[in-house]
Amino acid sequence: MNETIKIMKSRRSIRQYGPEQVKEKDLNVILEAGTYAPSGSNVQSWHITAVQNRAIFDRMTKVIKEAAKGADNEVAKRILANPDFRAFHNAPTAILVSGDAKEPYSPANCAACMENMVIVAESLGYGSCWMGGPVMMLFHGKKGQEFMKDLGIPAGYKPFYFMALGYKAEKPTAAPRRQNVINIIR
Domain count, the chain: 1
| The pLDDT value given to residue 115 | 98
Global pTM?
0.92
Distance CA 186, CA 8 (A): 27
User: Model confidence over 24-77: pLDDT tens digits?
Assistant: 999 999 999 999 999 999 999 999 999 999 999 888 888 888 777 767 777 776
Give the span between the Cα atoms of 87 and 58, in whole angstroms.
Answer: 9
> Looking at the domain assignment, is residue 55 inside a domain?
yes
The β-bridge partners of 50 are 95
pLDDT at 133: 83
Residue 102 lies in a domain: yes
- Confidence at 15, pLDDT banded by 50, 70, 90: very high
85 is a domain residue: yes
The DSSP code for 158 is E
Is 174 a member of any domain? no
Q: What amino acid occupies position 25?
A: K
- The CATH number of residue 89's host domain is 3.40.109.10
Amino acid identity of residue 34, one-letter, is G
Question: In this model, does residue 80 exceed pLDDT 70?
Answer: no
182 lies in some domain? no
Taking only the tens place, the pLDDT of each residue in 169-185 is 999 988 899 999 999 99
* Domain-embedded: residue 177: no
Residue 175 maps to a domain = no
In a domain, 41, yes or no: yes
In this structure, are strands 127-131 and 46-51 parallel, antiparallel, or unpaired?
Answer: unpaired
Residue 114 structural domain: 3-166
Kindly give, in sequence order, each residue whose CB lies less than 8 Å from that of residue 153, ignoring residues fewer than 6 positions away.
47, 49, 96, 98, 159
